[in-house]
Amino acid sequence: MARKKITMIGGGQIGGNLALLAAQKELGDVIIFDIPRAEGMVKGKALDLMQLRPHDGHDSNITGTSDWNDVKGTDVFIITAGIPRKPGMDREDLLGINLGIMKDVATNIKEQAPNAFVIVISNPLDAMVYAFYKVSGFSKNQVVGMAGALDSGRFRAFIAMETGFSVQDVTCMVLGGHGDTMVPVTRLATVGGVPVTDLISAERLKEIEDRTRVAGGEIVKLFGNGSAFYAPAQSAIEMAESYIRDKKRVIPCASLCEGEFGVDGYFIGVPTVIGAGGVEKVLEFSLTEEEKAGLNKTLDAVKKTVAETGL
């Protein structure tokens, strides 16, 4: 049986880690794609990863390229392309540059692999996944943004760090936009089935929620230059694996809502079932008034960013 083909668009820190994780899980053969001036870098990363295989025992092939023809027939694309925010840049500057990149990527993917499943990581996430969807003309089940998967993972990590219990037993979710307005749903968080509200004080939980909202920024500050890459890569691989292996995982992702949670026509973080059909279902549940208000606030932020794309 032919192996699946997974292409990482963007060969930076996240792209390199995506390639490593996809190969280690043997999800398929991996291509790291970047612009021509970065071709040597992605070919070098691919060769380095090929030489790691004897020590790790996996047989995926990893290649680097800047030629769109090489990604023909790809099953899964994970898009990290775009520039990170530099000192002195505002979100609009970032949006303008990355929107141009995303339009180019969407046009080429449509041409080379019209049936692919696409996971967008590029920021500003909510606008970028919307832009890809609009420009590519792909169906809503083919396109998803990696937002809540990462944010929920961070929320889980902080709860595990606070309680000292296994992170495996922490279940929680974060809804909404991928930014400071995201909505951690603490009411539903559990550790081994025990409500987290019975384990951690309300005051401390509020601090953990706030830390989750700005968790990406905390890492940017510590790095001084650049942003998180290990956790974002693993989050996207979790989504890709659920698609490739038809696992039907329920992962908070930026999916296109058409009435769910009162949201219509926008990609926003919601509990999403990912299987062989791509985005197979959005799981709706009742929100409290406070959670609804939080979701409306995050939706306003998403609408504003999407409006700036002009699409």
Q: Which residues are catalytic?
A: 178
HSE of 3 in the Cβ direction (CA atoms, 13 Å)?
17
- Interacting residues of 193 by C-beta distance below 8 A, sequence separation 6+: none
Q: Mark out the alpha helices in the chain (DSSP H runs).
A: 13-24, 39-56, 91-112, 125-136, 148-163, 202-213, 215-223, 230-244, 289-309
Alpha carbons within 13 angstroms on the beta-carbon side of residue 210 total 6
Q: What CA–CA distances, in Å, run from 236 to 44, 50, 174, 195?
A: 23, 21, 16, 27
Tokens of 220: 């940017």
User: Does the N-terminal peptide bond of residue 252 adopt cis geometry, omega within 30 degrees of 0?
Assistant: no
Q: From the centroid of its chain, how far is CA 173?
A: 14
Could you say which DSSP state residue 83 is in? P
